[in-house]
Amino acid sequence: MTSLMESLDKDASNQRKRAAALQGLPWYMKENPSTLMKRSNSPGEDFIKGMVIGILLVVEDVKEPLPVSYNDVAIVIEEKIVMRHLGDVPNAFVNLMGLLYMLNLDYPKEMKYTFEVIQRLFMGIGSEMCTSRVHSLKNKLLS
C-alpha cells in the first residue's frame, strides 16, 4: 500500500488515484490481490495459468506499483484472455464487472469482499445489504 501511495507523488491525476484505489482495495479488505491482478512484461500463457477471473497488466517495469502507462491491460476468464487493450486499471475493472454480470459468473471466493465493495459501494448495486466488513468500510468512507 505504501508503494502505491508513493507512486501518486509522481503524478496524482484522477485516473491514477482510481487505479491506486482499485489496486489497494484487496489489501485493505485483507485479501490477496495476486489472484485478481497479475503483472507481466509480456502477455504469455504462463502468467494467466490458474487465473479463473482476473486482470493481466503488461508493463515494462514489473516492480513499479503504479506505472505511468501500460503496454496492455487484459481481462482473463478461465485462463483465456477475453478482452485486450483496455488502457488502464479502472477501465479494466469496469469491463470485468460488466462481463461478470453479462455472463452471470460468480465472484471468486478469495476476492469476495473486494468485489462486494466494487458492486455495493462503488457501483451502488444492493448497497443496503453489505457484509459487516464492507459495511465498516462504507461507514469509514462516509464519515
Q: How far apart are CA 54 and CA 40, in angstroms?
A: 13
Domain count along the chain: 1
Q: How far apart are CA 38 and CA 70, in angstroms?
A: 13
Segment 28-68, tens digit of pLDDT:
999 988 888 888 887 666 778 888 899 998 888 767 777 77
Average per-residue pLDDT in the chain? 86
The residue-averaged pLDDT of 95-119 equals 91
- Contact (Cβ atoms closer than 8 angstroms) between residue 81 and residue 56: yes
The residue to which cell 496524482 is assigned: 12
- For residue 110, the enclosing domain spans 2-142
| DSSP secondary structure letters along 1-35 | -HHHHHHTTT---HHHHHHHHHHHHHHHTT--GGG
